[in-house]
Amino acid sequence: MQRFAVGIEFCGIRYRGWQTQQAGVPSVQESIERVLSQIADEPIILHGAGRTDAGVHATNMVAHFDSNAIRPERGWLMGSNSQLPKDISIQWIKHMEHDFHARFKAKARRYRYVVYNAPQRPALLYKQVTHIYQPLDVEKMILAAQKFQGTHNFETFRAAACQSKQPVRHVSHCQLIEHGRYLVLDIQADGFLHHMVRNIMGCLLEIGQGLYGIDHIDTLFAAQDRKAAGITAPPDGLYFIQAYYPEHFDLPQPPLGPHWLNLADAFA
């Protein structure tokens, strides 16, 4: 039995999220498992670094699977991509020792949320960014984003259906970058709660629209109640960027996707 890690890029528009669901409901995990099982001639189960909501995208979702099939890495890679839907692609594959686990060995995960702030909606970026037509006070949003850094109780910022046992997370960085009409929220933490990034972005958008001041975030943290917060931002602009692992696993670090996702790197 061999273990392989894979890096997956996908556009989430057509899928009800990463995780396999009931029959007839399209998911990214089920789509890839079906193809890998055909190549291996045996059932394959993928274990992902995290989950994504319906409509959320990924540039490097790390996952792993085990198989008895003897195939070269290039065979797995080329065979999979020749059969996968065009909106899912395996970017790399690597043979791993059995102590690797895509979910449990991840030290941190990183997301980016992209807002396109312009009077008219974009056509070429449909469902790939969130369009906000109202003017935004970006300076206030930049300052407000920094308040999410550190260790906090994110009870207010998780969905009511979240199944996590506890809401405390450590956010190592949270910065908002402005570049032309794009706003990119870059956030990394030791783990994320259900809807956490989308609820954070919803809060920042309300501040940018002048509904609240920057200190409103302190009030929300103190409330520890989802009902105290406002909107959940749409899934369209959210991207799972990367999961981080101990260095000895030596996983590939591919580019972070299209240019509007890489804008934040220029300011890092």
pLDDT in tens, 44-80: 999 999 989 899 999 999 999 999 999 999 999 999 9
DSSP code string of 180-199 = TTEEEEEEEES---TTHHHH
Q: Is 66 a catalytic residue?
A: no
- Kindly state the tokens that stand for 197: 């990034």
User: For the whole model, what pTM was predicted?
Assistant: 0.92
Distance between CA atoms of residues 101 and 99, nearest Å: 6
Amino acid identity of 230? Answer: G
Among candidate residues 197, 238, 246, 252, the one with its CA nearest the CA of residue 99: 246
Return the bridge partners of 64, or none. 5, 47
User: Band of the pLDDT at 21, cuts 50, 70, 90?
Assistant: confident
CA distances from residue 244 to 21, 49, 221 in whole angstroms, order as listed: 26, 9, 27
Mean pLDDT of 237-241: 94
Report the pLDDT value the prediction gives residue 268, as an integer from 0 to 100.
43
Among candidate residues 149, 152, 140, the one with its CA nearest the CA of residue 205: 140
Among candidate residues 99, 97, 127, 103, the one with its CA nearest the CA of residue 29: 103
Residue 101 has phi, psi (to 5 degrees) of -140, 125
Cα torsion angle, 153, 102, 93, 25, sign = negative
DSSP code string of 215-258 = THHHHHHHH--GGGS-PPPPSTTEEEEEEE--GGG-------SS
Which has more pLDDT, 84 or 162?
84
Residues of the chain with CATH 3.30.70.660: 108-240
Residues of the chain with CATH 3.30.70.580: 2-105
Selected from 3.40.309.10, 3.30.450.20, 3.30.450.30, 3.30.70.660, the CATH number assigned to the domain covering 108-240 reads: 3.30.70.660
Which CATH number applies to 2-105?
A: 3.30.70.580
Mean pLDDT of 94-109: 96
Residue owning tokens 């999979």: 80
| pLDDT value at 266 more than 70 | no
- Kindly state the tokens that stand for 83: 């059969």
Q: Which of 41, 53, 137, 186 is catalytic?
A: 53
Residues whose CB is less than 8 angstroms from the CB of residue 57 and which lie 6 or more positions away in sequence, other chains included: 10, 11, 12, 128, 238, 239, 240
| pLDDT value at 209 more than 90 | yes
